[in-house]
Amino acid sequence: MKKKLLIHNDCIEIPAILWGNSLDKLIIAVHGDMSDKEDKVIELLVGNAINKNYSVLSFDLPEHGDRKNNHHYGCNPSHCVSDLRAVYAYASTLSAEINLFACSIGVYFSLLAFHGSSIRKALFLSPVVNMERIIQVMMTEFGVTEERLEREQKIPLPIGKTLDWSYYTYVKQHPVNFSWNSFISILYGSKDALSPKEEIEAFSYQYKARLTLLADGEHYFASNEQLSFYNKWLDFNL
């Protein structure tokens, strides 16, 4: 079963898909940057999950997928956290057992949104766990100081990203440093250029996560070899 639906967050409509027929166990799937609710890694998740009697609820983050042209509700942490909590509330009406899959920046948003929620297990692919460092790296690379960013509020960068003062201050005020009760499994590529290995190892140690390394794997799992490894990791961890 593949059912398209809209999840409501007050006046905001979140395009979503419910995959599978069994609602005994449900996985909320959170995609990464420049992705969507039907991304290849989510399709592979769905195939594995349905075979193990899960359903999957995937959805588009703000300014992604079917929401790509809606720039009035930006993809910032406060909006994403609000949307994720609305998705969780809806998922809780469908199933008594909620699990989580998240990729890249979707991991950061999920950690912010769900650290107080009842989640049985969490699977993280190429997790982003330190947004402050990532933003500061971009600021350094393009010669942007905190003072300038505060003064100008938003600074477009030639790489297609925009530095945003309100985004940056939110991130600084919400570091990943809180309790997380569910079991975490992580898949990480050793050549991930976005999150250093020592950062992921420290996170794994802090939250007692099972860490799987793919030698020569990158942040984005796109090659046949990477996706095949990811598929086997899903099969083992679900």
Output the pLDDT for position 136: 97
Number of alpha carbons in the 13 Å side-chain half-sphere of residue 158:
4
Output the pLDDT for position 116: 87
For 137, the domain range is 131-175
Residues 56, 109: one domain? yes
With contact defined as beta carbons under 8 Å apart, do 111 and 89 qualify? no
Residues 81, 24: one domain? yes
Residues 91, 143: one domain? no
Residues 136, 233: one domain? no
Residues 121, 229: one domain? yes
Output the pLDDT for position 1: 87
Mean pLDDT of 23-48: 96
How many structural domains compose the chain?
2
Spatial distance between the Cα atoms of 85 and 68, rounded to a whole number of angstroms? 20
Q: Which residues lie across from 25 on neighbouring strands?
A: 54
The first and second tokens of residue 68, run together, are 């790509």
Residues 91, 57: one domain? yes
What is the SS3 assignment for 20-70?
CCCCCEEEEEECCCCCCCCCHHHHHHHHHHHHCCEEEEEECCCCCHHHCCC
Residues 100, 45: one domain? yes
Output the pLDDT for position 181: 87
DSSP 2-24: EEEEEEEETTEEEEEEEE-S--S
Q: Which residues lie across from 59 on neighbouring strands?
A: 16, 30
Domain end residue (candidates: 140, 158, 175):
175
pLDDT digits (tens, 9 = 90+) for 155-208: 999 998 999 999 999 999 999 888 898 999 999 999 999 999 999 999 999 999
Residues 77, 44: one domain? yes
With contact defined as beta carbons under 8 Å apart, do 132 and 153 qualify? no
With contact defined as beta carbons under 8 Å apart, do 184 and 101 qualify? no
Output the pLDDT for position 125: 98
**What's the pTM?**
0.95
Residues 124, 158: one domain? no
Q: What is the CATH number of the domain that holds 42?
A: 3.40.50.1820
The b-or-e profile of 59-96 (16+ CB within 10 A means b, else e) is bbbbbbbbbeeeeebebbbebbbbbbbbbbebbeeebe
Residues 144, 162: one domain? yes
Residues 103, 33: one domain? yes
Mean pLDDT of 1-24: 95
Residue 70 has pLDDT above 90, yes or no: no
Residues 71, 151: one domain? no
Cα-flanking dihedrals φ and ψ of residue 153, to 5°? 70, -50
